[in-house]
Amino acid sequence: MNKDKIVLAFSGGLDTSYCVLALKNEGYEVHTAFVDTGGVDAEQKRWIADRARALGAAEHYELDASTPLWDKFVVPLLWSGARMLDQYPMLCSDRYVIVEQCLELADRIGTKRFAHGCTGMGNDQLRFDQSVRSLGDYVIHAPIRELQRETGNVREYELKLMADAGVDVPASSGKYSINENLLGVTLSGQEIDRFEAPAEDTRVRCRPRSEWPEGHGEWRIGFDGGRAVSLDGKPIEGPAMLDRLNRELGAYGVGRHIYTGDVSIGLKGRIVFECPGIDALMCAHRALHDAVNTRLQNQFRHLIAARWAELVYTGFFFEPHKADLEAYLESANRFVTGEVTLRSDGNAVEATAVRSDFLLQDPNSVYAQSASWSPEEAEGFVKLLGQSSTLAQKVRSRGR
């Protein structure tokens, strides 16, 4: 192994640009890796590559992570129906495939050193560091986090180093911190951080009411074993499906949310997030899952979902316990096969029809319409089901 080589997860922003210079100043041969998880067009990717080379990267690599992101995150996300605090579908989870692909690159070029641009103030450092430690024996470098030992104004220090090196810093793309990938978009900063109403310019994928299309939109999503495999009757790869749903549902304003969560280090974090495609897929999957699985399976799913969400959100993506949960989820999705019709008139999406060979339906028994049991059997069932409550009232009333 060449100890002087180091792989840096690189986005081209201020923090990772600073990391290139800082690591070079420490004597490392910096290999930048941009892991494409969606949300960046070809022109932006060219700019990122040019930026890395201008900063002095020895080599720059562009890695496509759309399929791993779908297979390793979106599929079990749909299986579980998990949302952190029943709201946030962990759009930050592209970090895990970024780490995985960067470490594979490190192995290929012969180094055990990996660097990221996380600060010491958020959850991303947990996602990066714990993933690295779970995946092998690597040395972690975090120049921005280390910089906090030296200064209380990290941004000012970064800008000075860049200016001293003669490197231009592009003007801010806006007043918000924006993170966009295949899964969706998150925004923070300004009035969002102040717990005020987000301004209209926080809209990225979800259009306002004045721009919604005329009439309603409909989509048919097909599932096989809980995996989304077709759209409007045609087979389609997962990433392409999610990209299309993001565009088409976003046009109807679907998928926009405001979320306040607890950062692991003890702060409150407030974000606006938009995920039209994820909302649509989760709505469709739940409609089918609930129709083909038993009452006990559907109840237990919620317990699994809360645990799975906690592990993913807090950095334990490669924890063996998560794999255990997913083994159950895969089993519970064996018969989640069929097609769901989604409809949107704007702002929300709903599942309007479900077709499957595995619907738990009795042709002789329809809710509130007909039954294959007698009135006497129904009365006896009601009596026995409530027996414990009835006895409690009788026994306890005697002791008053």
Both 141 and 188 in one domain: the answer is no
pTM for this entry: 0.91
Of 43, 31, 36, nearest in space to 11 by CA:
36
pLDDT of 116 > 90? The answer is yes
Q: In whole angstroms, how far apart are CA 198 and each of 54, 234, 272?
A: 37, 38, 8
pLDDT confidence tier of residue 171, bands split at 50, 70 and 90: low
H/E stretch holding 178 reads: strand 177-181
Query: What integer pLDDT is reported at residue 173 of this predicted model?
Result: 46
Average pLDDT over residues 146-159: 82
- Please, what is the average pLDDT of the chain? 92
Both 346 and 242 in one domain: the answer is yes
* Range of lowest pLDDT (34-38, 177-181, 212-216): 177-181
Both 56 and 155 in one domain: the answer is yes
Both 154 and 201 in one domain: the answer is no
Q: Give residue 207's domain range.
A: 183-355
Query: What integer pLDDT is reported at residue 168 of this predicted model?
Result: 78
Residues 237, 381: Cα–Cα separation, whole Å: 48
- CATH number, position 53: 3.40.50.620
pLDDT of 14 > 90? The answer is no
H-assigned helices in 201-338: 238-250, 276-292, 295-313, 320-332
- Work out how many domains the chain is built from and give that number: 2
Q: In whole angstroms, how far apart are CA 356 and each of 4, 231, 282, 341?
A: 57, 16, 17, 12
Of 26, 326, 338, nearest in space to 161 by CA:
26
CA 400 to chain centre: 55
Both 26 and 106 in one domain: the answer is yes
pLDDT confidence tier of residue 177, bands split at 50, 70 and 90: confident
pLDDT for 195-214, tens place per residue? Answer: 999 999 999 999 999 999 99
